[in-house]
Amino acid sequence: MKASESAIQPFLERLMCRSSLDNDDQQKVLSLPAQIILVESNKDLIPDKEFTSHSCLVVSGISARYVQSKEGHRQIAALHIRGDMPDLSSLLLPHRSSGLQTITPSTIAFIPHNALHELTKSPAIAEAFWRDTMVDAAISTQWIVNLGQRDAPARIAHLICELATRYQKSHDGNEFEFALPLTQQHIADAVGISVVHANRAVQMLKNHGLMLIANRQVQVLDWRLLCRAADFDPTYLYLSCTSSGQ
Amino acid sequence: MKASESAIQPFLERLMCRSSLDNDDQQKVLSLPAQIILVESNKDLIPDKEFTSHSCLVVSGISARYVQSKEGHRQIAALHIRGDMPDLSSLLLPHRSSGLQTITPSTIAFIPHNALHELTKSPAIAEAFWRDTMVDAAISTQWIVNLGQRDAPARIAHLICELATRYQKSHDGNEFEFALPLTQQHIADAVGISVVHANRAVQMLKNHGLMLIANRQVQVLDWRLLCRAADFDPTYLYLSCTSSGQ
DNA sequence: CGTCAGTTTGACTGGAATCAAAACCTGTGG
DNA sequence: CCACAGGTTTTGATTCCAGTCAAACTGACG
């Protein structure tokens, strides 16, 4: 297997979680040309100018889609992990409306737009891409609810529930842990509160025996209760990977 | 022109704002079968059960995509106006993750999924649909920023700016007005604050000479300033309709 | 003229931002 | 091995924003 194939593998797996592709289409995805680059933390992945010619794919690490408001505040609008294609939208929407930055050291694959465009000539692949875009939109909707309606602890709980599920860690029972290299500043920027307040909310979750965050690890102490506190329902993520596709 | 064609016309216009379709494809869109229904206000448009077989299209009026949180609070996640297809996502994502309700008396066209699916066999149309999904996602991203970072008056200002632009009213100079039949409760639910607070924020905008809302009309007093206050940049809406296509 | 939905106002309270400073790591180089 | 610098987490004190409750007001409509 070529280096680029193994880099694209997680992306294909993601697609296959939600859509079904025949062998031919799978092969086409895997043979996408990709330039694989190691990127350190806090580096911008897409330039500010219009008309990028590549989309990038997270192979490892975490990246954040963010918007910087006029007063210097930053809002993280999405977090992207292994297998995600954060700026697929640049393929059809040339104006960049949000920035993209690595949070941890990451390996990123850059894929030329024309190759992606070529790929979408296969209807099944086009549909799979479209479906993934829809799931991203569904996630955004949930973030809107999170920001608009829940208090600080619930917002953080929901974020953690979402990430645990996307990392597929939520099936390991009611008590488990997983690596999550976010600082409290990142969490604060994602759920729209200040760092100080994020800290207190995290402690609140700890004191209630729901979860704790320490040295880049999240330890879920009571998954059931955490989901309840977060009002979390995983269906919107469409990640029932066990069954192939819908 | 058949009744269903004229109902679908605004939808086609919307698509044409962002994508270019040849005559053949345009004709295909227009001849979509549609069941046109008049709906009163505050009626749910999609059933709670899974596997709807139709998507709906707003021909006139306003509908809200919303999520009801456990404690009974409601968050409006998107507003849909003439030409929008609010639940296009049900075509590829069978589980409904948000509700859809008319805000005003509306005329809605219901279009069977299989007809839409058939339509996407034309690559240009599929791409146009996909692009529209991406714009919806971009709008959601802006709402996240709105809820996460701005204070109440700015949130409302941003909402108004967005709607004015989507109604294409923002080209009528620096001072103009347009119909917007939202109650302050709706505004509050959309920007994540209480009605009382929404009221005070609206008055603040009035006192600063930016805009005023009265009898289902928004009167923009200083578009330039309003945009500044809202930190509004319309590019994410991709509505430069004057030029045809992207 | 009463009703009802929507808007406006006031008084009160709690939550969250801000500012500031201290404690805590973790990797670095002396 | 220690000291140190950096980023991160924690804590406290203060201020202010925004939610809640409750009540009055406005218009439209039957």
Is the model's pLDDT at B229 over the cut of 80? yes
φ/ψ of A166, rounded to 5, equals -65, -30
Q: Mutating which of A18, A48, A149, A194 best tests the B interface, going by the most B Cβ atoms within 10 A?
A: A149
Share of chain B above pLDDT 90, in %: 81
Q: Which of B77, B94, B123 sits opposite A145 (nearest CB)?
A: B77
- pLDDT at position A246, please? 34
φ/ψ of B33, rounded to 5, equals -70, 135
Residue of B nearest to A78 (CA): B141
Residues 170-209 of B with CB under 7 A from strand C: 183-185, 195-196, 199-200, 202-203
- pLDDT at position B2, please? 63
Test B149 with A65 for CB contact under 8 angstroms: no
Residue-wise pLDDT tens digits, B128-172: 999 999 999 999 999 999 999 999 999 999 999 999 999 987 777
- pLDDT at position B147, please? 95
Q: Mutating which of B20, B55, B73, B141 best tests the A interface, going by the most A Cβ atoms within 10 A?
A: B141
- pLDDT at position A99, please? 93
Residue-wise pLDDT tens digits, B82-92: 999 999 999 99
- pLDDT at position A3, please? 67
Q: Can you tell me the mean pLDDT for B213-235?
A: 92
Contact call for residues B121 and A127 (beta carbons, < 8 A): no
Residues 138-197 of A with CB under 7 A from strand D: 183-185, 195-196
Contact call for residues A125 and A28 (beta carbons, < 8 A): yes
- pLDDT at position A198, please? 93
Chain B CB contacts of A127 under 8 Å are 92, 120, 126
Residue-wise pLDDT tens digits, A163-177: 999 998 777 789 999
pLDDT band, very low/low/confident/very high, at A136 (cuts 50, 70, 90) = very high
Chain A CB contacts of B73 under 8 Å are 149
Residue-wise pLDDT tens digits, A67-98: 988 777 899 999 999 999 999 999 999 999 89
Is the model's pLDDT at B103 over the cut of 70? yes
Test A69 with B231 for CB contact under 8 angstroms: yes
Residue of A nearest to B128 (CA): A92
Residue of A nearest to B99 (CA): A141
Residue-wise pLDDT tens digits, B63-82: 999 998 877 789 999 999 99
User: Of the given ranges (A233-237, A241-245, B126-130, B223-227), which has the lowest mean pLDDT?
Assistant: A241-245
Which residue approaches C17 most closely, CA to C1'? A194
Test A95 with B236 for CB contact under 8 angstroms: yes
Q: How far apart are CA B142 and CA A140, in angstroms?
A: 10
Residue of B nearest to A92 (CA): B131
- pLDDT at position B49, please? 72
Test A235 with B147 for CB contact under 8 angstroms: no
Q: Can you tell me the mean pLDDT for A11-19?
A: 95
Q: How far apart are CA A116 and CA A53, in angstroms?
A: 10
At B152, list the tokens. 């109440």
Contact call for residues B67 and B107 (beta carbons, < 8 A): no
Is B173 within 8 Å of chain A by CB?
no
Beta-carbon contacts below 8 Å between A and B: 138
Test B144 with A69 for CB contact under 8 angstroms: no
Nearest nucleotide, CA A212 to C1': D9
Is B127 within 8 Å of chain A by CB?
yes
Share of chain A above pLDDT 90, in %: 80
SS3 per-residue string spanning chain B: CCHHHHHHHHHHHHHHHHCCCCHHHHHHHHCCCCEEEEECCCCECCCCCCCCCEEEEEEECCEEEEEECCCCCEEEEEEECCCCCCCHHHHCCCCCCCEEEECCCEEEEEEEHHHHHHHCCCHHHHHHHHHHHHHHHHHHHHHHHHHHHCCHHHHHHHHHHHHHHHCCCCCCCCCEEEECCCCHHHHHHHHCCCHHHHHHHHHHHHHCCCEEEECCEEEECCHHHHHHHHCCCHHHHCCCCCCCCC
Q: Which of B95, B134, B150 sits opposite A93 (nearest CB)?
A: B134
Residue-wise pLDDT tens digits, A31-60: 999 999 999 889 899 887 777 899 999 999
Q: Can you tell me the mean pLDDT for B172-198?
A: 92
Chain B CB contacts of A134 under 8 Å are 89, 92-93, 133
User: Of the given ranges (A4-8, A25-29, A105-109, B31-35), which has the lowest mean pLDDT?
Assistant: A4-8
